[in-house]
DNA sequence: ACCAACTTAGAAAACGCTTTCTCATTAGAA
DNA sequence: TTCTAATGAGAAAGCGTTTTCTAAGTTGGT
């Protein structure tokens, strides 16, 4: 029974920081730092009896390894960063949620940085976040392509959302907003609308650019339909304030930049006594959870956005683990979600639904 | 012109981790680590000429201090954690947003942990997050009072939201849901409703408990009105699925747990052809941004929730800086927000609004 | 011209951990 | 019994900073 000569320490030594450290456990168990570390990390080259002693000491002192020291030694933080242009936007909230949940399942946490749509802040935020973390998810950055290309190399491992880059090893998850908006426009045209209006999003938003491209393609393919462009933004108020412009346009089918804008617009139209979809059809984009609970329920293009956040993590994990990545990035096709806010053009109101 | 004997290093040395460290700058500038550190931290006990040389070297190498090493040396991470029961809930999203924005203004970032309503996970998550950060915001924890009391001491600096504790130095920001629900009930009674129903929230939610207490007080003060209790939850679907129970109850005034539940309920009622507020009045709680864009717009109790997140940071900052805190915690009074979803009881529909 | 006081910058310790290196002990084989 | 190999644990180095300690050099007063 190799009875150790260690001495039980009744008084808990407090290190400079006041917290219990590996050293405290070591003296309590009468072993060295190294042994405590080995035991805590499940290294089996330790005598079971000693290991038990260490574990007992650790438990008694309620020792928990300091993650900062650990990070420094291991060169990893088990944390990833995400920078978003606007945390108030449900889309980014959903991405964050999907990312956070998926990462948590692998023991990673996420650190958030909100640029508040200030594109000049993005590079600084991204760099700072990246240094604190093992990787970075850059979400729909508003900066220019040139800035992005310059920044990207210093951010690896990096996953891009709704932007692309020429740099290698940077997976990029993009939603095909161009196709989605064409699907929506096609749906409205099928309903007999010939005069559409697009209520645009933030000018610096790349996803807005994709929608515009999609609409150009649509116009080319459907010369008989008119597609008007209206200035806009990305929130409720944008939609609400656009009522006059929408009514003035004479369009009967309105493609709102996203669901929020569509909701604001519908609310404004309702106040004016305009019937949706009787007088005007409205479509959104994203299919946020609220979309199925508006009155009327909102026709939109559903983006599997939480899944996208999850995919972002999977790509990131592959990067961190330096795994071979078969699909470095993906393209997500929105799915047309036809609800009650779109109906036949200029048809008289009937009891039977569209 | 004391020409230094340092030697310009044309080859960039790469440390083990492959990143540029303080050592690289030191050799490039021909000085010691210590001097580089001093310069980088604006310590003025350095010869301006040397400082310039160091800055030049740092700029040329694009040196950025490693935050992990820095954290270890300084004993702080410039990060705070927040644990929420459900990141999908707009209330917690808003708190996170307010917290994140306020913290960012003081150079702090926030790390998120989502417990997914699993109360047994909360203690582990909280402890882990706390160790990684300089402080923790514990948001509406679902754990029991006893567990909370036991956990709290190990989490300091800690700010509690919608829970209280007997522990000292733990500011606690609580919304007075009890008063808010009484205000809403009073509003409905003023409109002539005499049979109310409360669509309850998650059983473990403390804020639900506060609402129940408030309703007890209300019943005591208004013996002539009936207040029925209905099982519930906190999301859309809860409200949507409660339609039958609500109709069966015969109540004409429905107090939904929150705005989400109210929206789900209104959507369900709409599908059944029940007019709101003509047949039944519905109220929410929280005044989430969507509440003013529902049809009809939602009568609710407005909680200054983003401000609450901001306050949480201010309390946390005071704790971290060990400042004297005049108001260790605050109580937030919801403000009655009367919109279109509530109207006179059983009155025939008229063109003139309620 | 000499000594005290002050500047300035390098050396080294500290932060809390992991891991390599090294050495002592023990088991096993010849 | 003796030598080798294997095992287990401590010493120490390292992760990248900040900061204290120390010593060299400089200034200024007498």
Give B49: exposed, middle or buried? Use CB within 10 Å, 0-12, 13-18, 19+: exposed
B114·A97 Cβ contact <8 A: yes
Distance linking the first and last C-alpha atoms of chain B: 86
CA of A353 vs chain B CAs: smallest distance (Å): 13
Length A23 CA → D16 C1' (Å): 21
Judge whether B75 and A65 are in contact, CB under 8 Å: no
pLDDT at B147: 96
Cα angle value A84/A87/A90 (rounded, 5°)? 105
User: Buried (b) or exposed (e) across B208-231, using 16+ Cβ within 10 A?
Assistant: bebbbebbeebeeebeebebbebe
Secondary element (H or E) of residue A82: strand A79-84
Nearest CA distance, B21 vs chain A (angstrom): 12
Give the contacts of A205 (CB within 8 A, at least 6 positions apart). A140, A142, A234
Residue pointed to by tokens 């029991």: B144
In terms of DSSP bridges, do strands B135-139 and A79-84 run parallel, antiparallel, or are they unpaired?
Answer: unpaired
Pair B239, B268: CB distance under 8 Å: yes
Share of chain A above pLDDT 70, in %: 92
* B60 CA to D19 C1' distance (Å): 26
Radius of gyration for the alpha carbons in chain B, expressed in angstroms and rounded = 28
Write the pLDDT tens digit of every residue in B187-200: 999 999 999 999 99
* CB neighbour list of residue A326: distance below 8 Å, 6 or more residues apart: none
Q: What whole-number distance in Å separates Cα of residue B337 and Cα of residue B184? A: 9
B246-281 tens-digit pLDDT? 999 999 999 999 999 999 999 999 999 999 999 999
Q: What is the pLDDT of residues B197-226, one digit of tens each?
A: 999 999 888 999 999 999 999 999 999 999
Judged by CB atoms closer than 8 Å, whether chains meet at B116 and A101 is answered as: yes
Domains of chain B, first to last = 1-65 (1.10.260.40), 77-170+305-332 (3.40.50.2300), 177-299 (3.40.50.2300)
Calculate the CA dihedral of residues B183, B188, B190, B194 and round it to 10 degrees: -120
Task: Judge if the beta carbon of A118 is closer than 7 A to nucleic acid strand C.
Answer: no
- What are the backbone dihedrals phi and psi of residue A280, each rounded to the nearest 5 degrees, phi first? -140, 135
Integer Cα distance of B161 and A132 in angstroms: 27
**Distance in angstroms between the alpha carbons of the first and the last residue of chain A:** 86
Question: In the structure, what pLDDT confidence band is assigned to residue B19 with cuts at 50, 70 and 90?
Answer: confident
Looking at residue A301, its pLDDT comes to 98
Nearest to B93 among A93, A127, A129 (CB): A93
* Residue whose C-alpha is closest to residue B68's, from A74, A346, A269: A74
When scoring A109, A113, A238, A276 by the number of chain B Cβ atoms within 10 A, the one with the most, hence best to mutate, is A109
Residue holding tokens 């940071």?
A: B313
Q: Which among B144, B173, B174, B175 is positioned nearest to B159, based on CA atoms?
A: B173
Residue B325, pLDDT score? 75
Q: List the beta bridge partners of residue A331.
A: A174
Mutate which: B75, B100, B132, B137, vs A, most A CBs within 10 A: B132
Contacts A290 to B, Cβ<8 Å: 236, 263, 290
Average pLDDT on A141-150 reads 95
Q: How far apart, in whole angstroms, are the C-alpha atoms of residue B89 and residue B210? A: 19
Secondary structure of B127-156 in HEC code, one letter for each residue: HHHHHHCCEEEEECCCCCHHHHHHHHHHHC
Inter-chain CB proximity B132 and A294 less than 8 Å: no
């Amino acid at each position: 029974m190799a009875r150790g000569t260690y001495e039980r320490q009744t008084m808990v030594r407090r290190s400079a920081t006041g917290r219990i450290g590996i050293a405290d456990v070591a003296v309590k168990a009468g072993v060295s730092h190294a042994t405590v570390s080995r035991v805590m990390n499940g290294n089996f080259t330790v005598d079971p009896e000693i290991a038990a002693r260490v574990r007992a000491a650790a438990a008694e002192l309620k020792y928990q390894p300091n993650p900062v020291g650990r990070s420094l030694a291991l060169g990893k933080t088990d944390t990833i960063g995400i920078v978003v242009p606007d945390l108030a936007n449900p889309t980014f909230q959903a991405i964050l949620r999907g990312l956070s949940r998926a990462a948590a399942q692998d023991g990673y946490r996420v650190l958030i940085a909100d640029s508040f749509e200030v594109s000049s802040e993005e590079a600084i935020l991204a760099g700072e976040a990246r240094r604190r973390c093992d990787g970075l998810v850059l979400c729909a950055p508003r900066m220019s392509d040139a800035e992005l290309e310059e920044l990207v190399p210093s951010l690896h491992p990096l996953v891009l959302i709704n932007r692309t880059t020429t740099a290698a090893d940077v997976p990029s998850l993009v939603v095909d907003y161009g196709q989605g908006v064409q699907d929506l426009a096609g749906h409205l045209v099928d309903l007999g609308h010939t005069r559409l209006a697009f209520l645009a999003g933030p000018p610096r938003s790349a996803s807005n650019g994709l929608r515009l491209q999609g609409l150009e393609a649509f116009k080319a393919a459907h010369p008989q339909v008119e597609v008007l462009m209206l200035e806009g933004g990305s929130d409720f108020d944008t939609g609400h304030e656009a009522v006059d412009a929408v009514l003035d346009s004479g369009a009967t089918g309105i493609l709102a930049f996203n669901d929020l804008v569509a909701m604001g617009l519908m609310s404004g139209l309702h106040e004016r006594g305009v019937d949706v979809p009787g007088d005007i059809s409205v479509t959104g984009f994203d299919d946020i959870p609220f979309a199925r609970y508006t009155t009327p329920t909102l026709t939109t293009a559903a983006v599997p956005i939480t899944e996208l956040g999850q995919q972002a993590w999977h790509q990131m994990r592959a990067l961190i683990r330096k795994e071979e990545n078969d699909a470095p990035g993906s393209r997500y096709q929105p799915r047309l979600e036809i609800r009650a806010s779109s109906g036949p053009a200029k048809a008289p109101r009937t009891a039977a639904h569209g």
